[in-house]
Amino acid sequence: MTGAIWNLLLALAWVILSGDFTGLNLVMGLVFGYLTLVLIEPQVEALKGYPARVPRIVRFIGFFIKELLLANFKVGFDILTPPWYMQPGVIAMPLEARTELEITMVANLISLTPGTLSLDVSDDRKVLYIHAMFLDDEEELRRNLKEMEYRALELFR
């Protein structure tokens, strides 16, 4: 968090000092600010882990967009064709996530990818109940969900 604030401050300083108030220059400032933080990370205790987290977030966004598009095509195909290929069902997924924030993030990400909808979390916060549209290959689906959860948790830890 400290790292993100410093990155933003450095970007604003860059924009003000260069006197060019456009969005593109702000992005430039963010990139230069990030490079500065990478350089000084070994010396500053408060910045630990921030430089490594940014590429992870970018990779996660890429991975998420890919999943979103692929799954949307799958659901769209099933909506349009007359016979149903779907086999919906409710499955229980054991959660790695422990805190409320992590569970919320994981549940929301699962809801956002088409074909899966998080229904509820058990009272002891150990299992997430998910309504899935394509249960023809349950093992594959569970593996995908686990990978998504693992990648999302990596952003926090």
Partner 1 sequence: MIDFIKGTLMLSGAIFTLLAAIGIIRLPDLLTRMHATTKAAALGVILIMLAVALHFGEVGVVARAFAIIVFIIMTAPVAAHVIGRAGYFVGSKLWSGTVKDELRPNYDPLTHELKSGLETEANAVHQPRENDTP
For partner 1, the closer of residues 7 and 118 by Cβ is: 118
Residue 18 is a binding residue for partner 1 (CB under 8 A): no
Tell me how far apart the alpha carbons of residues 35 and 49 are, in angstroms, rounded to a whole number. 14
Name the segment binding partner 1 (CB under 8 A); options: 4-12, 43-51, 52-60, 86-94. 86-94
Residue 86 is a binding residue for partner 1 (CB under 8 A): yes
Is residue 15 a contact partner of residue 32, using CB atoms and an 8 Å limit? no
Least distance CB 97 / partner 1 (angstroms): 13
Residue 94 is a binding residue for partner 1 (CB under 8 A): yes
Tell me how far apart the alpha carbons of residues 120 and 137 are, in angstroms, rounded to a whole number. 22
Tell me how far apart the alpha carbons of residues 143 and 146 are, in angstroms, rounded to a whole number. 5
Residue 99 is a binding residue for partner 1 (CB under 8 A): no
Q: What DSSP assignment string belongs to 118-133?
A: EEEE-TTS-EEEEEES
Residue 3 is a binding residue for partner 1 (CB under 8 A): no
Least distance CB 38 / partner 1 (angstroms): 25
Q: What DSSP assignment string belongs to 42-110?
A: TT-GGGTTHHHHHHHHHHHHHHHHHHHHHHHHHHHHHHHSSS---B-EEEEEE----SHHHHHHHHHHH
For partner 1, the closer of residues 55 and 94 by Cβ is: 94
Least distance CB 94 / partner 1 (angstroms): 7
Out of 29, 33, 115, 152, point to the residue binding partner 1 (CB under 8 A): 115
- State the residues that interact with partner 1 by CB under 8 A: 22-23, 68-69, 71-72, 75-76, 79-80, 84, 86-92, 94, 107-109, 111-115, 117-124, 126-127, 129, 131, 133, 135
